Structure formats: structure tokens, C-alpha cells
Amino acid sequence: MIHKLIAGVVVLGLAVTQAIRAADWPWFRGPEHDGMSAETGLLAKWPEGGPKVLWRTPLGKGYSGISVSRGRLYTMFDDGDQTFVGCFDAATGKPMWRTAAGRAFSDSQGDGPRSTPTVDGSTVYVLTAHGMLYALGTEEGNVLWERDLEKTFGTKVPQWGLSGSPVVAGGLLLVEAGGSDALMVALNKQNGREVWRSGSGKAGYSTPLVIEVNGVEQAVFFTAKSVYSVAVKSGQVYWEVPWKTSYDVNAAMPVFVAPDRVFISSGYDVGAAMFRITGDAGAMKATELWRNREMKNQFSTSIYSGGHLYGFDDKTLKCIDAATGETKWRLRDLGHGSLIHADGRLVVLGDRGQLVLVEATPEAFKESGRMQIFEGKTWTAPSLSGGKLYLRDEHELVAIDVSS
């Protein structure tokens, strides 16, 4: 009887833990790296003036996203001549700790770090715009290990700073390094030691995506000049598609359209394409299904839902048919925005601080609420956890209650 009781407590404990973790937003673009939240019970329509603002906390410069894990928020910012990793209490916005992570970054498109922290258990991994990679303890921000990508891999930092986020794949940490003989690398996530390096060339600004097609696990990297698929465990190149843009700016993350398609998009009048992956590990290829200029993601990644893609075509919010690339509807008043998907709706943040709730339907643009949340430039996508939206601009961190 005692054994049965203990087993029941263990099962209950696991269930609670899983429920808490299911509400986390632990890395770039959420739990599945697709901008999708599984949360339900959110406001279907916002009141006039928008949902309740819970708190606002001062923050330094940067575009780093907000990762949420176990009641804490993690992001990066510049303060003075230093880049910092910051941890905040999700309920109050109170700073918990901050750890210096090298020198500050500045350029014509804005100052501060670009990539989003990756929280994996008790470790948070961060990559600065200058190419400093850190593994920190989540509780106190202590440095577990660090790597200087310029010194280790010969990384050439692109014009607007390294922006891709580290991605955990089993025991590995995947990073687009942009080295002369190490375009893509995998490190042991426990100690930072190199496991493999693959390719050569210039890094783009995108985050790699791990997918499985025909039973083959692969990481899709969107670099400055190509889309690569490589074996997660070895770095072996499975397929490559050349992809050129002005200034070598490929920033949006690849989008997986299950079971075997990958969507790619770039700004600067280049456009988008859909590819079908066929074959196995011995012989794999990506075949173009369509290509057009209807969806030009300059830096914000599109979201796939219900056979359609929602995203920013330069400064126009659009819905396009994923099978054909045909535009279904458009809205032009939000600038270079970003978006996530939750409970059948899109949460869209325009680049001038307007937050908009939109139904995720191809029928027409249907708005369900709008509020002015920031006055400055907002190039960071929202994060959602436990019915709360977490947002930032270049000056502050904000929490909003969107639970019904």
C-alpha cells in the first residue's frame, strides 16, 4: 500500500511538472520553435484599451527575445559598454540576477544583443552579437562554460551582429558560427567542447531548425548564401539550396510544414519558396514546389497554421496559401512587425508598439483587439506563458494578462 501511495505521489508530481513545463516558452519561437502556443482559455476579444498590464520593468537596449521557464524570464540587453544576460521574476518583473557577457554591440540598425536565450533544464545558453557563447546556471547566472566563436571557429561577425539563437538537440548545442571552415557547428552542451563542424562561409541571421523527415533527423540552417540540411549527430550535409539576398540578410527561421516541406523567406524583394524533401540519409534532396514574392520576411518569421502561412511581407501583414503561395488577405498599418499564434488567434506586435489580436483565418483579416503598448521601436516577437504575454522594446520589459 505504501508503494502504491508513493507511486501515486510520483505520478502526480510528474503531471504537475509537465503541466508547468507545457506552459513555458523556453527558447526562440516557443516550445516547438514554430511560434505556436498550445495554451487555450485566452481572451477571444480584448476590452477597449487592451488587456490588463501587470507590470513594467526597465531594461537596456537590444532585440533579444524573452524566454520563460519555471516562473522566470530570461533575455539579454546592453547597459553602458556591457552586454548582460538578465533573469526576472515572471510574476512581478523583479530582477533576479544579471551576468555580464562581454562588450556592448552598436550599429545603424540599433544597439544591443539580437539572439534569444535557450533554457534547457538548469542551464541557459546565450549568444551575443559579437559571438560570445555562454552556458549559465539558471538559478544564479553563474558561468558554467564559455566559447569565443571568433577565436574558436574563425567566425566573421556579420554586419548587424550574430542573431541566430543556440538550439539544443539532445546532448548537442547547434550554432550557426560562420567560420571559414565551420559555418555550422555542434558543441557538447555540458562542457562546450566541439563535436563537429560543417561547411564554410558567412553566417546569416537565422536560427537553425531541427526536423525529422522520412525518419531522418536533420538540422536546417539558413545561412548568408544557402539553405543547408545536415545530420544532427555528424554535420554531414544532406542537401543544399543556394539562396542569395542583398547584404546577405537571411534572417527568418525556416518553417517546417509537416510531414516533408520546408518554407523559406527573405526580405529585400527576394520573396519565399516552398520545398519538398524526399529520399533518405543516403540520398536526400529538396525540390522546389513554388517560389514568389508574396511573402518577404525581412527578419520576422512566418507562422504555419491550418494550411496557411501568416507573416510580414516586408511591412505588410499577410496570409498566404501554403500550397500555392497565393495571398488571401493583407494589412498595411503595422510596419515591420512580428507575431505568434495561440488559441486560434495571432498576437501581432507592430514595429511602432501596437499590439493587435487577429483571428487566424484565411477568409479575411479579422481584428479582435488593439492596444498601444510601446512608443518606441519594437522588433522583438512576443512570448506567451501561463496566460501572460511578455514583450519588450529597447527600454523596458512588460507583462500583460490575456487569460479569460
Does the residue 123 lie in any domain? yes
Q: Based on the domain organization, do 57 and 67 belong to the same domain?
A: no
User: Would 288 be classed as within a structural domain?
Assistant: no
386 occurs within a structural domain: yes
Residue 26: predicted pLDDT: 98
In the chain, how many domains are there? 2
Say yes or no: 372 and 351 in one domain: yes
Q: Are residues 50 and 113 in the same domain?
A: no
CATH number, position 133: 2.40.128.630
- pLDDT for 22 equals 53
Query: Cis omega before residue 259 (within 30°)?
Result: yes
Residue 132, domain extent: 63-169
Asked which of 118, 148, 169 is the last residue of a domain, the reply is 169
The answer to whether residue 11 sits within a structural domain is no
The whole-chain average pLDDT of the chain stands at 94
Among 116, 139, 169, residue at a domain's last position: 169
- List of E strands, 129-254: 132-137, 143-148, 167-169, 172-179, 182-188, 194-198, 209-213, 216-222, 226-231, 237-242
Residues in the chain, pLDDT under 50? 1-21
In this structure, is residue 231 part of a structural domain?
no
Residue 52 within any structural domain of the chain: yes
**Model's pTM, two decimal places?**
0.94
Q: Which of 202, 200, 295 is nearest to 248 (CA)?
A: 202
Which cell is 96 given? 533576479
Does residue 73 sit in the same domain as residue 156? yes
369 within some domain: yes
Run of H or E including 330? strand 327-331
Phi and psi, residue 246, nearest 5°: -60, 140
What per-residue confidence (pLDDT) applies to 23?
Answer: 86
pLDDT one-digit tens code per residue, 203-226: 999 999 999 999 999 999 999 999
Instruction: Please enumerate, as own/partner, the contacts of 225-232 that have beta carbons within 8 Å and a separation of 24 or more.
Output: 225/201, 226/201, 227/254, 227/262, 227/264, 227/275, 227/286, 228/183, 228/184, 228/198, 228/199, 229/277, 229/284, 229/286, 230/184, 230/198, 230/199, 231/281, 232/169, 232/170, 232/172, 232/174, 232/186
Choose one of 169, 184, 208: the last residue of a domain.
169
Residue 1 in any domain: the answer is no
Q: What is the pLDDT of residues 90-144, one digit of tens each?
A: 999 999 999 999 999 999 999 999 999 999 999 999 999 999 999 999 999 999 9
Q: Are residues 68 and 161 in the same domain?
A: yes
